[in-house]
Amino acid sequence: MKGIVVGSANTDLIIHVDKLPALGNTEVGHGFTRGPGGKGANQAVCLSQLGVDTHFIGRFGKDEFSSILIEDIKSYGVRLNYSVIDEKRQGGVVFIVVDKTGNNTMIADFGSNMYLSAEDIENAEKLFDDADLLLLQFEVSEEANKKAISIAKRNDCRIVLNPAPFRIFDPEILSNVDVITPNLFELSQILKYLEGKDIVKQDEMDIDRIEKAARILLERGVSCVVVTLGSRGCLYLDKSEVRKFGTFRVQPVDSTAAGDTFTSAFALKYTEGKSIDDAIRFASAAAAIVVTRKGAIKSIPTIEEVEDFLQRNRIQKFQ
């Protein structure tokens, strides 16, 4: 299996706190770490850890953090031959604050990532000749994503979009997307943008409303939608079925990169032609492991770790 990830790579500066500070206040945090991250790089490392021949196309900055980031990503076996170093810009940096429930808030400066151009993707065109899978997110320029989609489409490559973090985008791209994996916040933002009204609110956990909302993405041409619902599980929809899945019960430490890991692991199993049950179980297990560890890339498991976890744990029923 050959996978391409077009996306971001960031240096994550992570600090843990008991609770987030109120405006104007200082909270004392602990456990500061600096580590490799970025939704694109996280997804690429995940594919590689799961045994996929993985190529990452991104635009790195010219600074000390970026040099370390490049070496870190390479050390996981991800190929960067078609990534670019932007001599004029600094790379992406993200401040992440994780609370004691494992949930996080982030402030990002995506730096050079946002300058990944259509030309950068064109220069990597031959990579797509025999690729099976393309993963995309929203932390690089829209023109890069669109170019990648058009080349992947010509080459019969499966296209998976993790629409995170939400931003305004050209809805035309949806008709070429095979799999989309929004969380509830992203789903609500996308639909507000597409339909001009609140169809499902982030704190609205009524599954029938979520299903109705996700159907709109199917109507826009996406082949299947997986709405991730955190510790509750996920909702899967395609034209012929709707399924609710629970997830594995774990003690959360840091949810950073859980969504990226879920997307990559699901995309892999889906592309391999595994059943939806197996693909979701596998992706949920990989994401559950991530949640029990600190950091982004550093928390992503190997295929052996996921298989071992699956042997020892049972997925919960959706509630």
Q: Which amino acid is at 149?
A: I
Phi-psi category of 156—alpha, beta or left, where left has phi over 0 and alpha has psi -120 to 50? Answer: left
Nearer to ligand RIB, 216 or 228 (CB): 228
Q: Which amino acid is at 299?
A: S
Applying CB under 6 A, does 254 fall inside the site for ligand RIB? no
Q: Which amino acid is at 166?
A: F
Structure tokens at 186: 């992203």
Q: Which residue is nearest to ligand RIB (CB)?
A: 37
Phi, psi of 189 (to 5 degrees): -70, -40
Nearer to ligand RIB, 113 or 310 (CB): 113
Of the residues 109, 132, 260, 277, only one is catalytic, namely 260
Shortest separation between residue 164's beta carbon and ligand RIB, angstroms = 7
Structure tokens at 71: 């070496």
| Alpha-helix residue ranges (DSSP H) falling in the chain | 39-49, 64-74, 118-122, 142-154, 184-195, 207-219, 258-271, 276-291, 303-312
Structure tokens at 134: 């393309």
Applying CB under 6 A, does 10 fall inside the site for ligand RIB? yes
- Near ligand RIB by CB under 6 A, which window of 17-25, 35-43, 151-159, 235-243? 35-43
Q: Out of 16, 39, 55, 147, point to the residue binding ligand RIB (CB under 6 A).
A: 39
Shortest separation between residue 79's beta carbon and ligand RIB, angstroms = 20
The distance between the two most distant Cα atoms of the chain, rounded to a whole number of Å, is: 54
Applying CB under 6 A, does 257 fall inside the site for ligand RIB? yes
- Near ligand RIB by CB under 6 A, which window of 18-26, 44-52, 254-262, 267-275? 254-262
- Near ligand RIB by CB under 6 A, which window of 6-14, 20-28, 118-126, 299-307? 6-14
Nearer to ligand RIB, 86 or 139 (CB): 139
Structure tokens at 278: 């197996």
CB 296 within 8 A of CB 256: yes
Shortest separation between residue 264's beta carbon and ligand RIB, angstroms = 11
- Near ligand RIB by CB under 6 A, which window of 33-41, 121-129, 226-234, 311-319? 33-41
Q: Out of 4, 16, 37, 124, point to the residue binding ligand RIB (CB under 6 A).
A: 37
Q: Using the 8-state DSSP alphabet, how is residue 88 labeled?
A: T
Question: How far apart (Å, rounded) are the C-alpha atoms in residues 308 and 289?
Answer: 11
Shortest separation between residue 260's beta carbon and ligand RIB, angstroms = 5
Applying CB under 6 A, does 296 fall inside the site for ligand RIB? yes
Phi-psi category of 300—alpha, beta or left, where left has phi over 0 and alpha has psi -120 to 50? Answer: beta
Question: How far, in Å, are 33, 82, 210, 297 from residue 230 at the CA level?
Answer: 24, 34, 14, 19
Q: Which of the residues 125 through 154 are near ligand RIB (CB under 6 A)?
A: 139
Q: Out of 57, 80, 94, 229, point to the residue binding ligand RIB (CB under 6 A).
A: 94
Structure tokens at 88: 């004029």
Shortest separation between residue 137's beta carbon and ligand RIB, angstroms = 8
Nearer to ligand RIB, 97 or 134 (CB): 97
Residue 260 is a catalytic residue: yes
- Output Rg (C-alpha) for the chain, integer angstroms: 18
Nearer to ligand RIB, 105 or 275 (CB): 105
The separation between the first and the last C-alpha atoms of the chain, rounded to the nearest angstrom, is 35
Active site residues: 260
Applying CB under 6 A, the residues found at the interface with ligand RIB are: 8, 10, 12, 37-39, 42, 94, 106, 139, 256-257, 259-260, 296
